[in-house]
Amino acid sequence: MKLGIISDTHGLLRESVLLKLSECDYILHAGDIDRPAVLEKLESLAPVYVVEGNNDWEFSGRLPIRIDVTLEGLRICMAHRRMDLPADLSPFGLAVCGHSHRFELSRLGNTVILNPGSCGRSRFGRALTMATAEVTGGVPTVTRIDIDEL
């Protein structure tokens, strides 16, 4: 199983991002979608799991703040802000958050913690990034993808 993991699109889906996501079985979006059309486009590619970000006014209260989902043996927790993830991440194989627009990948025990960065509009002078994760036997192997498209 292959996951496409994005955050902070802020109303913009680049062609290179869509191409990478079209290769995925599921898409995780860690919030700040901004426009319903972005979510509709993602849903045309693969099943989407999404949480509400602090800039998702058009979705106001219609998206969860945090999700807990199991996909092919991998238990995933996702929230837009890191502070909205549970304090105890040990039940999860993957914890995803966004908000900072900065790619971060770490491990805490058996939990992979990932912020895929932003693949929408460039902000704060940070690189545009996203991630994919190949999942085998309930274990994710994460790959950072740098977006060169302007």
pLDDT for position 32: 95
Q: What is the DSSP letter of 127?
A: P
pTM over 0.75: yes
| Domain total of the chain | 1
> And the tokens for 10?
């802020």
Helix (H) or strand (E) holding 20, with range, is helix 15-21
Q: Which structural domain range is residue 69 located in?
A: 2-146
Q: Is 43 helix (H, G, I), strand (E, B) or coil?
A: helix
Contact 130, 6 (CB under 8 A): yes
pLDDT for position 150: 59
pLDDT for position 60: 81
CA atoms within 13 A on the CB side of 131: 29
pLDDT for position 74: 98
Distance CA 70, CA 60 (A): 25
CATH value at residue 87: 3.60.21.10
Contact 133, 115 (CB under 8 A): no
> And the tokens for 86?
């549970």
pLDDT for position 123: 75
3-state DSSP percent of the chain in helix, strand and coil, to 5: 15, 40, 50
pLDDT for position 87: 96
Per-residue pLDDT of the chain (150 residues; tens, 9 = 90+): 999 999 999 999 999 999 999 999 999 999 999 999 999 999 999 999 999 999 988 888 899 999 999 999 999 999 999 999 999 999 999 999 999 999 999 999 999 999 999 998 877 778 999 999 999 999 999 999 999 865
Contact 92, 75 (CB under 8 A): yes
